[in-house]
A and B are shown apart, each in its own frame.
Chain A
Amino acid sequence: MRLMSQRGIASQPVAIALLGWLVPGLGYWLAGHRGRGVIVFISVVTALLLGILIGGIRVMDPPGWGQFGFKPQIVQVNVNQATRVDPHSTAEEANPRRPHGYENLGWALTQQPLAEIGSKPWSIGQIFAGPMYLAAAAVSVQMAKPQEDKPTEPGVPPSHSRSWELGTLYTAIAGMLNMLAMIDSTFRAAQSDGEEQ
């Protein structure tokens, strides 16, 4: 029964790709390539954890959140010009007009999605590491929020120079490797399904 249900999943390439994103290597595992699944799981998870260990949690820097852990807002400066405000507090996030005196157009990720994602291109690779990335990014955003005694500084500052570069490189490559594994496991599942028919 269990094998039959696994066979059913393995015949659906989209499900294999999605499950491979949820848990690195699970796509291979369900497609019947268990050894490959284990290798991919160990490699991707270890690379991601090593990246966070080397660069600190703040290497998980999702687009749509600023360096203080709040949602950056786009405010209208004049008729032709808008600017991005990186709030320091929940109050400023809710109403960025007050310190600047301009009209708030909304969250930077929805107002200028390409510019926001383009300013953090490594996040495109990182997101393919799956829910581990989302969880680590959520922790990073929480830790970035300023503490009460230091309201103008991030709670945990981002690392810099080689720590940040290596941490980002590890986490982005972990995601990219999982993306390759997702594509290949999907292909192998579709191929083996075709062979059986």
Chain B
Amino acid sequence: MNLLAYTPFIDPLPIWIAPWFWPLLLLPLSLFVAMVYKTIKCTELSHIPRQAAEMFVVIVGGMALAAGALALLAAWMR
């Protein structure tokens, strides 16, 4: 795709420019999941930011651990 012809929201974001970029896009999604989940679960509104932040860390940490374990498994299978 010609980047000069890139139209936001019509064409896909050129995430292939840097190979390290696309995993970072999982961070906002994890944050939204944590925020809405804790909005539903928390009885007090004031508890949401802290609990959502904790859940965000757990999600991202869990995904990083899973990715590491799968990378080790793939390396072992080669």
Point out residues on A near B: beta carbons under 8 Å: 33, 35-36, 39-40, 43-44, 46-47, 49-50, 52-57, 143, 156, 159, 162-164, 166-167, 169-170, 173-174, 177, 180-181, 184
Contacts and interface: CB of A to CB of B under 8 A. Distances in A.
Given A50-B28, A163-B15, A173-B32, A181 B9 contact: no
B74 interface: no
Q: How large is the interface on B (under 10, 10 to 19, 20 to 34, 35 or more residues)?
A: 20 to 34
23 contacts: A33-B45, A35-B48, A36-B39, A40-B36, A40-B39, A43-B32, A50-B28, A53-B13, A54-B13, A55-B12, A55-B13, A56-B11, A57-B10, A143-B10, A156-B11, A159-B11, A166-B22, A173-B29, A177-B32, A177-B33, A177-B36, A177-B37, A181-B40
Interface in B16-47: 16, 22, 25-26, 28-29, 32-33, 35-37, 39-40, 45
Contact of B36 (A39, A164, A166): A39
Given A169-B29, A184-B40, A156 B10 contact: yes
Contacts of B9: 49, 52-53, 56-57
Contact of B10 (A47, A56, A162, A173): A56
Interface centre among A44, A163, A181 (most CB of B within 10 A): A163
A195 B7 CA distance: 52
Nearest to A46: B32
B12 A164 contact: yes
Interface centre among A50, A54, A174 (most CB of B within 10 A): A54
A60 to B, nearest CB: 11
A43 B36 contact: yes
B29 A39 contact: no
Nearest to A34: B45
B14 to A, nearest CB: 8
Nearest to A169: B29
